[in-house]
Amino acid sequence: MRIALCPGSFDPITLGHLDIIERAVRLYDKVIVGVVENPNKSHLFSTEERVEMVTTSLVGMEKVEVSSFNGLLVEFAREHQVRVIIKGLRAISDFEHEFQMAHLNKKLASELETVFMMASPEYMFLSSSAVKEIALFGGSVAGLVPDNICFSLKNKLNKP
Ligand code: PNS
């Protein structure tokens, strides 16, 4: 069975993430969405909330499993018999960081491959941090995140 892993913070999940996950599902037998815990990074949503938001956004999608992880990505991949890590690449600015992570992960686990998918043009400049900023200042995030996430953001940020 070919299992791919789509890791991320998903704070919150965006339509750009969803697009990459949907495309991965077409290529692999099973896709695990790994939500990183990372206690060193401050997230707007708790790990449980992020897992729940991802799960709700993927409802009805077959062959997808959502799980949180802490520690090294390569260890999580090994535990789940994953051979492929899927990352979305947006504008050029993503490249340097992703390039570094792909090589370090390869050094840590040579059996793992990182496969990059170009973000679809409409999501090229979409990021969770931009979404949070727009929502924080009362702007509409419709068309940027799944509908359920619009509500989660409103609730979290207490906007009417
Ligand atoms: O959505 P993000 O914040 O770009 O996701 C980054 C993620 C989760 C892929 C990255 O932070 C990660 O792999 N974290 C796990 C810790 C780890 O393995 N670090 C070494 C990477 S070289």
Residue 93: predicted pLDDT: 80
Residue 41: predicted pLDDT: 83
Do residues 131 and 141 lie in contact, with contact meaning Cβ atoms separated by under 8 Å?
yes
**Ligand 1 centroid vs 8 CA: distance in angstroms?**
7
- Model pLDDT for residues 14-47, shown as the tens digit of each residue: 999 999 999 999 999 999 999 999 878 899 999 9
Instruction: Say if ligand 1 is within 6 A of residue 101 CB.
Output: yes
Average pLDDT, stretch 5-21? 98
* pLDDT over 60 at 159, yes or no: no
Instruction: Say if ligand 1 is within 6 A of residue 58 CB.
Output: no
Phi and psi dihedrals of 116, rounded to 5? -100, 135
- Give the pTM: 0.95
- Banded model confidence at residue 153, pLDDT cuts 50, 70, 90: very high
Tell which atom from ligand 1 comes closest to the C-alpha of 71. Answer: 16
Ordered strands of the 3-8 beta sheet: 64-69, 30-36, 3-8, 84-89, 113-118
**Ligand 1 centroid vs 132 CA: distance in angstroms?**
20
Instruction: Say if ligand 1 is within 6 A of residue 102 CB.
Output: no
Distance (Å) of CA 140 to CA 10, 34, 44: 19, 27, 18
Interatomic CA distance for residues 120 and 23, integer angstroms: 10
Tell which atom from ligand 1 comes closest to the C-alpha of 104. Answer: 22
**Ligand 1 centroid vs 101 CA: distance in angstroms?**
8
Q: What domains are defined for the chain?
A: 3-124 (3.40.50.620)
- Model pLDDT for residues 75-115, shown as the tens digit of each residue: 999 999 999 999 999 988 899 999 999 999 999 999 999 99
**Ligand 1 centroid vs 125 CA: distance in angstroms?**
20
Distance (Å) of CA 157 to CA 49, 83, 128, 139, 152: 14, 38, 15, 12, 9
Known catalytic residues?
A: 17, 41, 90, 128
